[in-house]
Amino acid sequence: MDTEIIKIVLAFVVLINPFGALSLFLDLTRGYSMADRRKVARISCFTIFITIAFFTVAGSSLLQGLGISIGSFQVAGGVLVFLIAINMMNGEGNPVKPDQDNFDVDHIQAPASMGAAVVPIAIPMMIGPGGISTVIIYSSQISGIWRVSAVIIAGLFISLFCYLSLMMAGRISRFLGDTGLNIMSRIMGMLLAAVSIEIIVSGLRTLFPQLL
């Protein structure tokens, strides 16, 4: 159980990558009081946790309802995650997450716009299509209350990690700088590539058990 949680947490960390949302968080909360900034961080991280928990519980049912086999979704999701990893290693960021430059932060006024904590900070800047796909993939491979709980616990851990990252956004940005964040993104891309290969291989085993 502990090993499974660590593996899932690792996948969530490299996919959600809260460091990629630090600049947007700082821009959107410019002029906020510390209390309002904490509230935005709490709402964002609670949204991440609820999203992970929902797709953990309902992921398999959604696939069945759409008539999509688990193996097919694993291969498709693994390819998506691998493409994300390649872009991260090339220093191009996550291709399925929007560029924060596309958001007009000047029209978001504090403290009335707490909705920005959900969109765009939590969704899609931190948990986007790649993260949601990974949650569904992991949830579709498990059964039983304990394994489902492991994914939800992993979601809780990553949500707390995201909260701490957002609350330390200013210090992290100053300490790492653009170069440090770029290096971290490339390292996470390498880890994510390994995760994606495991997902693809698992999907191929499901689709072609006689070949693998």
Q: What's the pTM value of the predicted model, to 2 decimals?
A: 0.81
Q: How far, in Å, CA of 154 to CA of 11, rounded?
A: 10
Q: What is the pLDDT of residue 137?
A: 85
Q: Are 88 and 189 in contact (CB under 8 A)?
A: yes
Q: What is the pLDDT of residue 41?
A: 93
Q: Are 185 and 13 in contact (CB under 8 A)?
A: no
Q: What is the pLDDT of residue 112?
A: 44
Q: How far, in Å, CA of 52 to CA of 127, rounded?
A: 9
The ranges assigned to domains in the chain are 2-207
Q: How far, in Å, CA of 132 to CA of 59, rounded?
A: 9
Q: What is the pLDDT of residue 113?
A: 57
Q: How far, in Å, CA of 70 to CA of 139, rounded?
A: 10
Write out the two tokens for 84. Answer: 């994300």
Q: How far, in Å, CA of 94 to CA of 42, rounded?
A: 24
pLDDT in tens, the chain (212 residues): 456 667 777 778 877 878 878 888 888 888 888 899 999 999 999 999 999 999 999 888 888 888 888 888 889 888 988 888 888 888 766 555 555 555 555 555 544 457 788 888 888 888 888 888 888 888 877 777 888 888 898 899 899 999 999 999 888 878 877 778 788 778 888 888 888 888 888 888 888 886 55
- Provide CB contacts within 8 A for 40, sequence distance 6+: 25, 28, 29, 32, 114, 116, 117, 121, 166
CA quadruple 14, 19, 20, 24: dihedral sign: positive
